[in-house]
Chains A and B, each alone.
Chain A
Amino acid sequence: MLAEAIFFSAVLFAIGVIGVLTRRNAIIIFMCVELMLNAVNLSFVAFARTYGVAGQVFVFFVMTVAAAEAAVGLAIIIAMFRHKQTVNLQNINLLKG
């Protein structure tokens, strides 16, 4: 049971990473980040069955942070869209040295 959960978590995490690396749209990248967080949540829950309730407590924290992040992140993306009329990250390179 644990092995399947961890495998599934790893697959989800890998999909999230690949999404972040390959996609250009900021919203999709954002969603991939959420996917990675939830992949981690899954493995926390799976491990909680064996090692005690601390893993489930962590999941609550992660969900809280993710909710806050979603609020802030979406707000940034909307502000950026208003400014640049795009959410394509290739067109946004304000950090260029």
Chain B
Amino acid sequence: MLLQHEVSAAGHPLAGTVAEWLWLLPLLPLLGFVINGLLSLVPATVLGPADPDMAHGADGAHGEAGHGVAVHAHDTADDHGAHGDDHHRVVRHRYAGLTSIVGPAVLAIAFGLAVAMFFAMRGVGEMHAPFVQRYFSWMPAGSLHIDAAFQLDQLSMVMVLIITGVGTLIHLFSIGYMQDDPGYPRYFAYLNLFVAFMLVLVLGANYPVLFVGWEGVGLCSYLLIGFWFSEKANADAGKKAFIVNRIGDFGLLIAMFLLFANLGTLDFVGVNEGVARLAFGGPLITAICLFMFLGCTGKSAQIPLYVWLPDAMAGPTPVSALIHAATMVTAGVYLIARSSALFSMAPVAGLTVTVIGALTAIFAATIGLKQWDIKKVLAYSTVSQLGYMFMGVGSGAYVAGIFHLATHAFFKALLFLGSGSVIFAMHAAYHHTGSHEDAQDMRNMGGLSRYMRVTWILMWIATLAIAGVPFFAGFFSKDEILGSVFLRAHESTLADASWLGIPGTAVLYACYALGLAAALLTAIYMTRMMIYTFHGPNRTGDAEREHLAEAPWIMTGPLVVLGILSAFGGWLNLPALTSFLGPVGALDRWLEPVVGESALRVTNGVAPEAAHNTELALVGSAVAIALIGIIIAAVRLKPARLVPKARSPEEHGIERVLANKYYVDEAYDRVVVNPTVGISRGVLWKGIDQGLIDGVLVNGSARLARAFSSFGSWAQSGQIGTYAWVLVIGVLAVLGAFTIR
């Protein structure tokens, strides 16, 4: 490209290296989107692999033995009704083969490019300023000057590696999961577009470019949640996600306006320099941060805007893994880390973020305790883990937040893909017998470890990781967050500030306690999910049982890679306590140029250093809690007593409240949705639209014109005599006027 030599910052250590190809990163998935999008416009579908039973005309028997792959990969509970009784028929898109190559390939190339950039970045050593490429002037309007520009720094690099790396694995998994869906190219087009926008989000060099990515991923999320839009519930879930996110985006926009009005720039570099001019802890910077955090609560599913994420499970399972667990929902965490200079100046906002994070972590974890839908458990677990990340970035431990973001991307993607593999097997089994049972309900599973050994082992790795069992990825990252919150309660700007009149120290200790409690619940509900799904007797059904089988290698392969990452992801940032395992604090050092200054500002300029005993106690309590949780779940739960969903009794008391998610959706319906609908109908529709606009303005002007015209029509009587009279009177009037004057 001719462009690049003129647009890059000259003199930067990365100038002239592979980082010059920065613009190619989002462009590659975009190219995939265009190709797959065009393919999806071809409506042609062909029959899949020939069904031997079809040849013999055995209509009633749905025997597809040996065709474990050849089923619709739908995973909604009642999707059978959608395609009638064609259980034995497989419909594939004609160009599915081409899509299977293009879709993952663009991602794989992008990942390779990202890895090359990573090594280039390591090669240049210390890098204190981001590598910025300006392409063209996007919004030159008065003093507002915004470039379409990308920047690469250590934080973006981490995000790009996660997005393209995990993204590639999920694309590969999708080949197996989605291959018999008629909308296969459309699915990959959306998935590619999502990655393109996500890369724009993390590479943008200023807030507006970030916002383009921010909105773009929201769009793709909407499209993919409602991917099977022929069912109203799915389409509704998509709309819910989109609308709830709009509320958050409003906050982000206000924050951007305030930033521009007071700093005169929206470039990350400019904002980071200019933020020193604002008063520390003043109302302005607090407002900016709080509005920005409102945006994060929408995108990253925190209280009060988390309600869309569990419903987002209506999309295909790999989508849940990529968008609603590993990448998009972490955009809020990225935004706060990216704006760390702002948040470190506003202790009250930081405390708010921490409190909301802690509340979300415990709140979602309790709901996760009583969900029966395997994906719902994981969805609430995601909300809960996002809460941890916000506890980290809110309390000024930006690296800890990003660290947990990375490890969570590994183990949650693995959990979701593993659940996808389970649902795939369940669905295939039910598909064979034409049963309409719920393929996602854990009460219909049980004992699956005998049929799916690979999935079973890998999901246990992810479960141990998320529960915080030592030496798995989640242990290190969760521990670092909890430890950071604990240490900052002693000595930090947050501890000196007060939140709603409560001293910051007390707030942080309370958050730490909530975090520990949530860790206990996490261990319990994850173990519960594993026990109900993989252990105990099988409840799938006698006819279906023999059809349960492990997913094909294209699906288990990515699982294995994610399993390795979940097991060893903690090595990214080992704490000092485990220095015998390898180099300590790699991520700390890597991100130091980006967030180091802000993190130090929060801790009053001294790196928080725990006494050895304190650290041992912190780690010990976290480990104890994780183990206690697992043991409680293992001892107390009796999978043998479970019965399939169709025969399950109603829940009572607190269980019922939890199973119904505290009735938050119902409360929102009553407090927000219904009044809004009522006002829209009563005032805006009947009153403003029909009354004022249609009645007064549109029909009113028509009536006025008609009144004038009927007068004119009446005057034109056609009687010559009348005309003559009018003429004479007129002449007399004119003459009279001249004469009298």
Interface residues on B, range: 10 to 19
Which residues of B (700-741) have their CB < 8 Å from a CB of A? 712-713, 715-721, 724-725, 728
Cβ-defined contact, B719 with A21, below 8 A: no
Cβ 8 A contact of B718, one of A17, A20, A24, A96: A96
Contact pattern, B 610-637, Cβ under 8 Å of A = 1, otherwise 0: 0000000000000000000000000000
What are the 4 A-B residue pairs with the smallest beta carbon separation, nearest first?
A97-B716, A93-B718, A96-B718, A95-B718
Cβ-defined contact, A21 with B713, below 8 A: no
Interface residues on A, range: 10 to 19
Cβ 8 A contact of A93, one of B713, B717, B724: B717
Cβ 8 A contact of B725, one of A21, A24, A92: A21
Q: With an 8 A cutoff between CB atoms, is A50 at the interface?
A: no
Q: With an 8 A cutoff between CB atoms, is A94 at the interface?
A: yes
Q: With an 8 A cutoff between CB atoms, is A65 at the interface?
A: no
- The contact sample of 8 A-B pairs, CB cut-off 8 A, is A20-B724, A21-B724, A21-B725, A21-B728, A89-B719, A90-B721, A96-B718, A97-B712
The complex places the Cα of A88 from the Cα of B737 at a distance, in Å, of 35
Cβ-defined contact, B716 with A89, below 8 A: no
Cβ-defined contact, B719 with A93, below 8 A: yes
* Chain A residue at minimum C-beta to C-beta distance from B725: A21
**Which A residues lie within 8 Å of B718 (CB)?**
92-97
**Which B residues lie within 8 Å of A92 (CB)?**
718, 720
**Which A residues lie within 8 Å of B719 (CB)?**
89-90, 93
- Can you add 7 more A-B contacts, CB < 8 Å, to A17-B728, A93-B718, A97-B718? A89-B720, A89-B721, A92-B718, A95-B720, A96-B717, A96-B718, A97-B715
* Chain A residue at minimum C-beta to C-beta distance from B712: A97
Q: Given contacts A17-B728, A97-B712, is CB(A24)–CB(B717) below 8 Å?
A: no
For the complex formed, measure the closest distance between the CB of A90 and the CB atoms of chain B, giving whole angstroms. Answer: 7
The complex places the Cα of A21 from the Cα of B722 at a distance, in Å, of 8
The complex places the Cα of A89 from the Cα of B719 at a distance, in Å, of 7
* Chain B residue at minimum C-beta to C-beta distance from A17: B728
**Which A residues lie within 8 Å of B728 (CB)?**
17, 21
* Chain B residue at minimum C-beta to C-beta distance from A29: B720
Contact pattern, A 66-97, Cβ under 8 Å of B = 1, otherwise 0: 00000000000000000000000110111111
For the complex formed, measure the closest distance between the CB of A24 and the CB atoms of chain B, giving whole angstroms. Answer: 7
**Which B residues lie within 8 Å of A93 (CB)?**
717-719
Cβ-defined contact, B721 with A95, below 8 A: no
**Which B residues lie within 8 Å of A94 (CB)?**
718
For the complex formed, measure the closest distance between the CB of A14 and the CB atoms of chain B, giving whole angstroms. Answer: 11
The complex places the Cα of A29 from the Cα of B725 at a distance, in Å, of 13
- Footprint of B on A, CB under 8 Å? 17, 20-21, 24, 29, 89-90, 92-97
A-B contact count (CB 8 A): 31
**Which B residues lie within 8 Å of A97 (CB)?**
712-713, 715-718
Q: Which of B713, B718, B720, B725 has the most CB of A within 10 A?
A: B720
The complex places the Cα of A84 from the Cα of B719 at a distance, in Å, of 16
Cβ-defined contact, A96 with B724, below 8 A: no
For the complex formed, measure the closest distance between the CB of B534 and the CB atoms of chain A, giving whole angstroms. Answer: 88
The complex places the Cα of A21 from the Cα of B728 at a distance, in Å, of 9
The complex places the Cα of A4 from the Cα of B201 at a distance, in Å, of 102
Q: Which of A17, A20, A29, A97 has the most CB of B within 10 A?
A: A97
The complex places the Cα of A29 from the Cα of B724 at a distance, in Å, of 11
**Which A residues lie within 8 Å of B715 (CB)?**
97
For the complex formed, measure the closest distance between the CB of A40 and the CB atoms of chain B, giving whole angstroms. Answer: 15
**Which B residues lie within 8 Å of A20 (CB)?**
724
For the complex formed, measure the closest distance between the CB of B736 and the CB atoms of chain A, giving whole angstroms. Answer: 15
The complex places the Cα of A59 from the Cα of B610 at a distance, in Å, of 125
**Which B residues lie within 8 Å of A95 (CB)?**
716, 718, 720
The complex places the Cα of A95 from the Cα of B720 at a distance, in Å, of 9
**Which B residues lie within 8 Å of A90 (CB)?**
719, 721
For the complex formed, measure the closest distance between the CB of B118 and the CB atoms of chain A, giving whole angstroms. Answer: 83
Contact pattern, B 472-501, Cβ under 8 Å of A = 1, otherwise 0: 000000000000000000000000000000
* Chain B residue at minimum C-beta to C-beta distance from A89: B720
* Chain A residue at minimum C-beta to C-beta distance from B715: A97
The complex places the Cα of A93 from the Cα of B723 at a distance, in Å, of 11
Which residues of B (408-442) have their CB < 8 Å from a CB of A? none
The complex places the Cα of A95 from the Cα of B713 at a distance, in Å, of 11
For the complex formed, measure the closest distance between the CB of B226 and the CB atoms of chain A, giving whole angstroms. Answer: 57
Which residues of B (264-308) have their CB < 8 Å from a CB of A? none
For the complex formed, measure the closest distance between the CB of A76 and the CB atoms of chain B, giving whole angstroms. Answer: 12
* Chain A residue at minimum C-beta to C-beta distance from B720: A89
The complex places the Cα of A21 from the Cα of B721 at a distance, in Å, of 6
**Which A residues lie within 8 Å of B716 (CB)?**
95-97
The complex places the Cα of A37 from the Cα of B715 at a distance, in Å, of 29
The complex places the Cα of A29 from the Cα of B715 at a distance, in Å, of 22
The complex places the Cα of A17 from the Cα of B735 at a distance, in Å, of 16
* Chain B residue at minimum C-beta to C-beta distance from A20: B724
For the complex formed, measure the closest distance between the CB of B716 and the CB atoms of chain A, giving whole angstroms. Answer: 3
**Which B residues lie within 8 Å of A96 (CB)?**
716-718
For the complex formed, measure the closest distance between the CB of B271 and the CB atoms of chain A, giving whole angstroms. Answer: 69
**Which A residues lie within 8 Å of B717 (CB)?**
93, 96-97
* Chain B residue at minimum C-beta to C-beta distance from A97: B716
For the complex formed, measure the closest distance between the CB of B722 and the CB atoms of chain A, giving whole angstroms. Answer: 9
For the complex formed, measure the closest distance between the CB of B729 and the CB atoms of chain A, giving whole angstroms. Answer: 10
Cβ-defined contact, B721 with A24, below 8 A: yes
The complex places the Cα of A97 from the Cα of B721 at a distance, in Å, of 15
Which residues of B (13-44) have their CB < 8 Å from a CB of A? none
The complex places the Cα of A96 from the Cα of B717 at a distance, in Å, of 5
For the complex formed, measure the closest distance between the CB of A16 and the CB atoms of chain B, giving whole angstroms. Answer: 11
The complex places the Cα of A17 from the Cα of B721 at a distance, in Å, of 11
The complex places the Cα of A17 from the Cα of B719 at a distance, in Å, of 16
For the complex formed, measure the closest distance between the CB of B250 and the CB atoms of chain A, giving whole angstroms. Answer: 56
The complex places the Cα of A20 from the Cα of B725 at a distance, in Å, of 9
* Chain A residue at minimum C-beta to C-beta distance from B709: A97
* Chain A residue at minimum C-beta to C-beta distance from B713: A97
**Which B residues lie within 8 Å of A24 (CB)?**
721
**Which A residues lie within 8 Å of B724 (CB)?**
20-21
The complex places the Cα of A94 from the Cα of B721 at a distance, in Å, of 13
For the complex formed, measure the closest distance between the CB of B675 and the CB atoms of chain A, giving whole angstroms. Answer: 53
For the complex formed, measure the closest distance between the CB of A71 and the CB atoms of chain B, giving whole angstroms. Answer: 20
For the complex formed, measure the closest distance between the CB of A39 and the CB atoms of chain B, giving whole angstroms. Answer: 15
For the complex formed, measure the closest distance between the CB of B34 and the CB atoms of chain A, giving whole angstroms. Answer: 61
For the complex formed, measure the closest distance between the CB of B547 and the CB atoms of chain A, giving whole angstroms. Answer: 83
The complex places the Cα of A94 from the Cα of B713 at a distance, in Å, of 13
For the complex formed, measure the closest distance between the CB of A97 and the CB atoms of chain B, giving whole angstroms. Answer: 3
* Chain A residue at minimum C-beta to C-beta distance from B719: A93
Q: Which of B717, B719, B728 has the most CB of A within 10 A?
A: B719
For the complex formed, measure the closest distance between the CB of B550 and the CB atoms of chain A, giving whole angstroms. Answer: 86
Which residues of B (331-355) have their CB < 8 Å from a CB of A? none
* Chain A residue at minimum C-beta to C-beta distance from B716: A97
The complex places the Cα of A94 from the Cα of B725 at a distance, in Å, of 18
**Which A residues lie within 8 Å of B713 (CB)?**
97
The complex places the Cα of A95 from the Cα of B728 at a distance, in Å, of 19
For the complex formed, measure the closest distance between the CB of B655 and the CB atoms of chain A, giving whole angstroms. Answer: 80
